[in-house]
Structure formats: structure tokens, C-alpha cells
Structure 1
Amino acid sequence: MKLVTFRNRQGHARPGALTGDGRVFDIAAATACDGGEMLGDMIAVITAGRAGLARIARLMESGETIALDEVQLLAPLPRPTQIRDCGNYEKHVRQAIAAAMQLRANATPDPAATLEKFRAAGLFEIPPVWFEQPLYYKGNPMTVIGPDAEVIRPRTARLMDYELELAIVIGGPARDLTPENALDAVFGYTIFNDFSARDIQSRETQFRFGPAKGKDFDTGNAIGPCIVTADEIADPEALTMIARVNGEERVRTTSGGGQHSIVDTIAYISRDETLHPGDLIALGTVGDGCGYESLTFLDDGDVVELEVEGIGVLRNRLKGHAG
């Protein structure tokens, strides 16, 4: 099932299910009339779990639908319970480290000499801990936007970038999972694009701390266009992933090849910590999945399209700051 959140003509945000013929089924309206608990938002749908999905499927057999062109698609999960974003792809990590060193060196009087100092100090190397365990930071669930929404450039940002990522939506609650049962906690999958101000990020991370204003700004986290339930994704590590900017293909790759598998990542994150319905875990930017790796950045007006097999296309446009 492909689940969405949409705004209807009355301006109300509702959870829905795509029917495959260009229409959407209003889950909130249908569940308000069948004698059960109304599923009024996506968190309620996720919390209802497999039984809730079976109920929705039964209601869809005879329920009314709305044409997609009569509604506005929002982020399918408008307010994730939490956002965790991992870094699981070695090619991306190596190239991003090199790009960060280049940006830092460019700010010095002798960039070439500075780069040599960085190399001699081992700053181009991936820290051993990255190979030993999954690593992640926590994002801001209040800054989420959906498909076709505009991303507003932070006022001091010069080097804006996109990131092509597959994300897991947790069904939960679950804690202390193992690799053997980790997938039981997965409700579904979506596309995640954490837009980044790379010049700000490069400066901030000199402190060896997690990203701050380089990633933490309104409209910075794009999710969508839908959540595909776990039963429809046979192998989440074998999905074709594509990034385009203004229609030009920048990368075509797969979701496989991460340093840490999906099940190992979920199990590690759940250690001593409960995962809740609506938690979002992004698995990290795939190799060549952003402009940072080639020091190629976005201009105002650029349209970024991220496509993941079986999920769809997440499209967003970068807009200059109005202030």
C-alpha cells in the first residue's frame, strides 16, 4: 500500500492511500464511519499497524476516492516522531570528507599547502569507529516538507546541496531489536532529502560535533512522495535510486552496499532506546548522491528530483531567502 498525507479542498490535512489510477482514498473519512477508531493522521495509521492496514484495505474495496489533481500532497509523515540520519555509504563518506577539506583549505591563503597539512594529519581518513558501528545524527522533525514544496535557502548559505537517501518508517514501539527481528519493526519506506548548507556545515564540523545550522533550518527535510508499506518492498537493499537536477541525471545507483546493513542499523539504534511509531531512520546518502562530493552546488530555482524504485519521485525547488 502507498500511503500519503494530502490537503483537501477544505484545507484539511488527511491520511490517504493511493489507488493506482490517479486517485486517493481518504482514510480519515472512511474510518470515521465504520464504527472503529478514526485514523485521523499518519501517526495513527502507523500505530494501528498491520491490523490497521487490513482495515484500510477492506474499506478501500467499496470506498469513495478523490482525484489526485483535486488535492495537494504533503509530506506523507508531516511530523515524524524523531528523525535519525545515518552515514552508511563509504564512497559518499570518503568524497564528502575530501570536499570538506577542500572547502576549509580554500578559506586559507595557501589552499594547496593547507591540504597537504590536512593529509599529513590524517584528516582525509575515515575514523575507525565508522567501520565498527552505525553512526547517525538526530534531525529536526518540525522542519519537514513534502513533494513539490519549496526549500528556502538559509540567509547566510552560499553552497546549497541535496542528498539522495532511502528512509525507514518505524512501526514500533520496539526496543533492543536483533538483526533477526529488526525488520518486524519496519512499517514502510520513503525517500528522504536533507537539504544542506555545505559552507555552514563545513565550518561547524571543525568542532567535531554533529551538524547544526548547516542542516537545521525550516524546510530543510523533505520526505515523500509516499510511504510504501514494508510488504511491498521485497529487498530494501536492492532498489534503484536516481537523482536529477533540472532534469539532468546526476547519479543512478542502488540502495545496497552500505557499510552496515539495514537490520544491523535498526538493531543498533534500538539498543537501550525505544523506537516509536513514526520514527524515521534515513540510511545515509548513497555514493555520488549529492553535489558536495563533486563540489557542485544548487542555484536558486533549481529543481531536485529524487527517485527510488517502488516509491516514486520526490521533487523540490530551491528558493532564495526572501529576507
Structure 2
Amino acid sequence: MKLVTFIEAQGPARPAVLLADDRLFDIAAATARDGAPLPDMLAVIAAGKAGLARIARLMETADHADFRALADVRLLAPLPRPTQIRDCGNYERHVAQAIAAAMQLRASATPDPAATLEKFRAAGLFEIPPVWFEQPLYYKGNPMTVVGPDAEVVRPRSAKLMDYELELAVVIGGPAKDLSPENALDAVFGYTIFNDFSARDIQSRETQFRFGPAKGKDFDTGNAIGPCILTADEVHDPEALTMIARVNGEEKVRTVSGGGQHSIAATIAYISRDETLHPGDLIAMGTVADGCGYESLTFLSDGDVVELEVEGIGVLRNKLVAPA
């Protein structure tokens, strides 16, 4: 199933199934009449496989009132408030190129950039730390800053170097703890697209403290998710999905979701070690190689439209706008 969250001119946001004919099956309305309402996407996720089977049965007997035309509603992020956001860095070429870009930005702010770069190289600052090869690494994002497809992303006032990031994310069904790589994918409810818009100039300055990103990532509208959650049963191999990024219609990269230093299953298993993963947790696997502008030091301008596409999930489209 392709699961979305939608809103009409009046009423609350509600979960739905996106059908091939551009109709929506209103899960909230149908389950309320059935006696056990699933009013939002977190409730749908928590209901698990049994809940999906129930939704499928309800669709078979639904009347016209349970359907909506996609053109008559507005899609929000399919999971408007993830329980938690964790974002990994799993693709070696992206990490290496991003480190090099960060060093160049830092050096450019000094009186002699070339000499500063040489000092950085001599100090080993261009090298990927050994720990990255040994275990998955991630930061935690702000689940209160999530927007969905076709939403505007507002540039932070002081940011000059804005960027997009092409990422596949898993939505946890859970609760699950101490998973192994062999059973970790059983905890996945579905997959979606994640774009953590980033203010690279702010991020580059902050991470000199080696404490992870802060205001370079944390700003309202900064985390875009969507357009749907594709349930896990629809994904044969999450490591083999075609992924594409476009800016203003120009294709920037076409790649696949696999090839990370740590597999999707191994990443989930590691994060679950000694820590319960809950329904609605979102874990992004990291930016794919060449999946952002940072790696080539090319950045977004106000008004640019970013489209991220992942096979089976669809297109997540967002426009960067200046602050009011």
C-alpha cells in the first residue's frame, strides 16, 4: 500500500491509501464506522500488519463516501510527526566529498585558503574517521519541523549556502529492541523519501566543535518527508531502489539505494541495541553519493524547486523560499 496523510478544506488531517487511479481511501472515516478508529498515521503504524489487513478488507466493501479525489485534497507529510528522527551517514563517497567540501569552506574564510587547506590535509582532517567504518553513525533531527510534498521550505535568515539531500528512510513498526541484521527488516513498517534541507555555511561552522549539526539542520520546515509511505510488503529489496534528484527539472544524480558502508538491516539492528525503537520512528539511511550540492559546492537559490524520486514511492517536491 501507499499510505498518505491528507487534509481537506475543513476538518483534521487523516490517513489514507493512495490508489493507482488518483483516488484516496479515507482510512479514518472507514475505520471509525467499523468501530475501532485509526485517526492518524501513527495509529495505522501501531496497528501493524493486522491493521493493514483490516484496511484492505474495508476497501473491498467500501462505499463511495470513503473515497476522495486526489485533486480535491492536499497531501501533508505521510507521517506528520515522527516519533523520532535519526539520520545516518552510510555512503562513503558522499562522506568523503562532504568532508572535503567542509574543509574548503572553512579554509575560504581564512586569509590564505591554500595554505590552510594544506594544514588541514597534514592534520588528517580530510580522512574519514575509522569509527565510521566500524559502526553506523547518526544524528537526531527535530520531528516538529516536518513538512510534506509540495510544501515550501523557508530558508533560515542567516543561511547563504542551502542544500538538499537525497535519502531513503525507513519507518519503524515496532516496538522492537536488540534486533539482529537477520531480523531487523521485520521491524520496518514501510519506506519513504527524506530530504533534510541543510544550511551548509552554518553547519560547517558548527561542526568544528565535533558535536554534530545543530542550527545547520534545525529550523522550521527543514525536514521534508513523502509523498507516501510504501509499506514493506511492496518492497522486494530496499537496497536496489532507483533514486533520482532534480533541481528545477535538471537531473543531478541517478543512483540506487544500496552500496552503503552499513546495510539498511545492519543500521537498524545497531540503532536498536539496548534501545527500544517505537512505532513511527524514522531512520534515514544517509545521503547517497552525489545526492546533494555540497559535494560539488553548488547550492540552492531562493525559488529553486527540488524533486527527489525513489522507485515505487514517488516524487517528493519542495520549493526553497526566502524568509518573510
Shorter-chain TM-score category?
over 0.9
Aligned residues: 321
Cα distance between partner residues in 2 of 1:263 and 1:240:
18
Cα distance between partner residues in 1 of 2:256 and 2:171:
19
Q: What residue in structure 2 maps to residue 206 of structure 1?
A: 208
Q: What residue in structure 2 maps to residue 247 of structure 1?
A: 249
| Percent of matched pairs sharing the same residue | 85
Q: What residue in structure 1 maps to residue 162 of structure 2?
A: 160
Q: Following TM superposition, by how much is the alpha carbon of 1:62 offset from its aligned partner in structure 2, in angstroms?
A: 2.6
Cα distance between partner residues in 2 of 1:60 and 1:142:
32
Matches within 5 A, 1:45-124: 45-63=44-62, 64-124=66-126
* Amino acid in structure 1 at the alignment position of 2:235: I
Matches within 5 A, 1:120-139: 120-139=122-141
Q: What residue in structure 2 maps to residue 230 of structure 1?
A: 232
Cα distance between partner residues in 2 of 1:224 and 1:79:
12
Cα distance between partner residues in 1 of 2:59 and 2:263:
35
Question: Which 5+ residue runs of structure 1 have no aligned equivalent?
Answer: none
Cα distance between partner residues in 2 of 1:19 and 1:253:
27
Bigger Cα displacement from structure 2, 216-225 vs 57-66: 57-66
Contact 1:161 1:195 in 2 (8 A): yes
* Amino acid in structure 1 at the alignment position of 2:4: V
Cα distance between partner residues in 2 of 1:8 and 1:46:
22
Q: Does 1:3 align with 2:3?
A: yes
Q: Following TM superposition, by how much is the alpha carbon of 1:19 offset from its aligned partner in structure 2, in angstroms?
A: 1.4
* Amino acid in structure 2 at the alignment position of 1:193: N
After superposition, the C-alpha distances for 1:93-128 in whole angstroms (9 at most, x for unaligned) are 000000000000000001000000000000000000
Q: Following TM superposition, by how much is the alpha carbon of 1:9 offset from its aligned partner in structure 2, in angstroms?
A: 2.7
Name the SS of the counterpart of 2:245 in structure 1. strand
* Amino acid in structure 1 at the alignment position of 2:55: I
Contact 1:84 1:138 in 2 (8 A): yes
Q: Following TM superposition, by how much is the alpha carbon of 1:210 offset from its aligned partner in structure 2, in angstroms?
A: 1.0
Name the SS of the counterpart of 1:209 in structure 2. coil
Matches within 5 A, 1:282-293: 282-293=284-295
Q: Following TM superposition, by how much is the alpha carbon of 1:180 offset from its aligned partner in structure 2, in angstroms?
A: 1.1
After superposition, the C-alpha distances for 1:244-265 in whole angstroms (9 at most, x for unaligned) are 0000000000001000001110
After superposition, the C-alpha distances for 1:50-81 in whole angstroms (9 at most, x for unaligned) are 00000000111132311001000000000000
* Amino acid in structure 2 at the alignment position of 1:34: D
Please report the TM-score for the alignment, with normalisation by the length of structure 1: 0.99
Contact 1:8 1:14 in 2 (8 A): no
Q: What residue in structure 2 maps to residue 39 of structure 1?
A: 38
Name the SS of the counterpart of 1:10 in structure 2. coil
Q: Following TM superposition, by how much is the alpha carbon of 1:8 offset from its aligned partner in structure 2, in angstroms?
A: 1.6
Cα distance between partner residues in 1 of 2:54 and 2:11:
26
Cα distance between partner residues in 1 of 2:286 and 2:61:
40
Q: Following TM superposition, by how much is the alpha carbon of 1:34 offset from its aligned partner in structure 2, in angstroms?
A: 1.0
Q: What residue in structure 2 maps to residue 269 of structure 1?
A: 271
Cα distance between partner residues in 2 of 1:257 and 1:276:
27
Superposition misfits of 4+ residues, deviation over 3 angstroms: none
Cα distance between partner residues in 1 of 2:160 and 2:19:
41
Q: What residue in structure 1 maps to residue 19 of structure 2?
A: 19
Q: Following TM superposition, by how much is the alpha carbon of 1:284 offset from its aligned partner in structure 2, in angstroms?
A: 0.1
* Amino acid in structure 1 at the alignment position of 2:58: L
Name the SS of the counterpart of 1:32 in structure 2. helix
